Amino acid sequence: MEAVSSYLTDLGAAVVLPFLIAIFGIVLGQKAARATRSGLLIGIGFVGINLVIGLLGTSVSPVATALAERFNLDLSVVDLGWPASAAIAFGSTVGAAVIPVCLLLNVVLLLTGLTRTFNIDLWNYWHFALSGALVAGLTDNFWLGIITACAAMVITLALADWSAPFVQKYYGYPDISFPHGTSAVYALFAMPMNAAFDRIPGVRNLKADPDTIQKRFGIFGESIFLGLFIGIALGIAGYGFDDPRADSIAILKLGIAVAAVMLLLPRMVAILMEGLIPVSESAQAFVAKRFPGRKMYIGLDAAIAVGSPAVIATSLLLIPLTLVMAFLLAPLGNKVLPLVDLATIPFIVAMMVPVFRGNIFRSVIGGMIVIGGGLFIATGLSGTFTAIATASGFTPEGGASQFSSLVDGANPLTGLLYLGGKIGTYGPPVLLVFAIGFALVIRRVVRRRDLAEQQAAAVTGVNAE
């Protein structure tokens, strides 16, 4: 089991997904050639997305380091970033068992109607593995870690079902949901924030979505110009002009790189969607034929949402703000230095942005709130995080003695599950029961929403007649 799990994770999503999608498509009744083409396009799309996100990371990391130095941030817990976190999660005692156990659990939940989402994004099961590894490390109990990983998946699938309609509407992805361990829980936090924004004079009528910005500023409001301006502003904040020649070169290169990301990410997502839509249509036809009245969503990586101009713009604005917050929150107990995961802030806000209807102002404020609170969560579990990282053989660069992660280490769901482990032996089982209860509540909410939509459609049809 461990060898198979390790092999799959080493291959990565860009290689595993084409095979899974092709097999999935054939099972759904597609011809082998068409299913294989869909799988290849999805794999190619993920390669492209990863290349562009890599460009963003290599462009932003130096300016993030420069910003940290400029703000004189001397914090003892280093943010390792999601690649290291994933390696630690799958390298833990729990990691090898998570993929088969959670995949089987997903099938059971589908058959029992407790979820509509089939999470084929096996690579990102590492999020569930990390929560399980933290609790297993905390309690020194493998099975409590497995129970925690299962609870993490049940809650994430429920959140994916609940958020699917507005995610599909905003991004234009039919029959897709995002059971992504980093992104899903933040949609839940965005709902009350958005309701609060709607009640604040001056804020409720402030339109700051990309379309409004483009209409107001014409060609200079296009996403590529927005990326150019944000990149240059970020470069100026980080590099300054201590060395005019070298700093001006770095600033202009960053501006062009961010503009390129704003243009290229949506193009890469379009390639992925070209392969995914036929599979999605076949899945719905398969379910409609065999399970009349039921819906099924294909659960994918939130990476296909980070190409949205509002997501990218929000994330770039949050990079310096996150570093400022880390500094300002240090006297209150924050010890985490955000660093590597600054480039993956798009995953934190990817499911908040649709709730805020693409409003960049609201998304930035909402992002600051959840990231600011998350720094304390990441600080609180840094001791156990460091212990499981050391046990899995991870050796950090730069001689850091304590580390955590901004992506999952600061995640409220990770914090809740970790708290369950701190309670003791009964904590994880109780949280698993809570997770199942939560899924039942979400199922009822989703069904009521479906009924309301059907009634509204019926009324519209009658009025049209």
pLDDT tens digits, one per residue of 427-453: 999 999 999 999 999 999 999 988 887
Instruction: Give the containing element (helix H, strand E) for 11.
Output: helix 2-11
* pLDDT number for residue 396: 60
**Helices in 71-125 by DSSP H: which ranges?**
82-91, 95-112
What is the distance between the alpha carbons of residues 461 and 457, in angstroms, rounded to a whole number? 6
What letter would DSSP give residue 402?
A: E
Mean pLDDT of 40-61: 80
Instruction: Give the containing element (helix H, strand E) for 19.
Output: helix 13-27
pLDDT confidence tier of residue 191, bands split at 50, 70 and 90: very high
Sequence-separated (6 or more) residues with CB below 8 Å from residue 257: 55, 56, 59, 231
Q: pLDDT higher for 183 or 286?
A: 183
What is the distance between the alpha carbons of residues 454 and 378, in angstroms, rounded to a whole number? 43
Residue 463 in this model has a pLDDT that exceeds 60: no
CA 268-174-452 angle, to 5 degrees, is 150
* pLDDT number for residue 217: 60
Assigned token pair, 97 = 């068992």
What is the distance between the alpha carbons of residues 301 and 143, in angstroms, rounded to a whole number? 27
* Structural domains of the chain, count: 1
What is the distance between the alpha carbons of residues 53 and 57, in angstroms, rounded to a whole number? 6
Q: Where are the beta strands (DSSP E) in 240-289?
A: none
- Identity of the highest mean pLDDT range in 57-71, 85-99, 330-344, 357-371: 357-371
From 375, 236, 369, 230, select the one nearest 311 (Cα to Cα): 230
> Which pairing describes strands 402-404 and 117-119: parallel, antiparallel, or unpaired?
unpaired
In this prediction, what percent of the chain has a pLDDT beyond 70?
A: 91
Q: pLDDT higher for 114 or 78?
A: 114
Sequence-separated (6 or more) residues with CB below 8 Å from residue 221: 210, 213, 214, 215
* pLDDT number for residue 327: 86
Mean pLDDT of 251-261: 87
From 148, 78, 75, select the one nearest 406 (Cα to Cα): 78
pLDDT confidence tier of residue 108, bands split at 50, 70 and 90: very high
Q: Which domain range does residue 194 map to?
A: 2-464
User: To the nearest whole number, what is the mean pLDDT of the chain?
Assistant: 84
pLDDT tens digits, one per residue of 57-107: 788 778 777 877 777 766 788 887 777 788 788 777 787 788 889 989 998
* pLDDT number for residue 457: 67
Return the SS3 of 337: strand
In whole angstroms, how far apart are CA 359 and each of 203, 264, 356?
11, 21, 5
Return the SS3 of 79: strand
Assigned token pair, 19 = 């095979």
Neighbours of 384 (CB within 10 A): 20
pLDDT confidence tier of residue 356, bands split at 50, 70 and 90: very high
SS3 labels along 362-399 = HHHHHHHHHHHHHHHHHHHCHHHHHHHHHHCCCCCHHH
What letter would DSSP give residue 343?
A: G
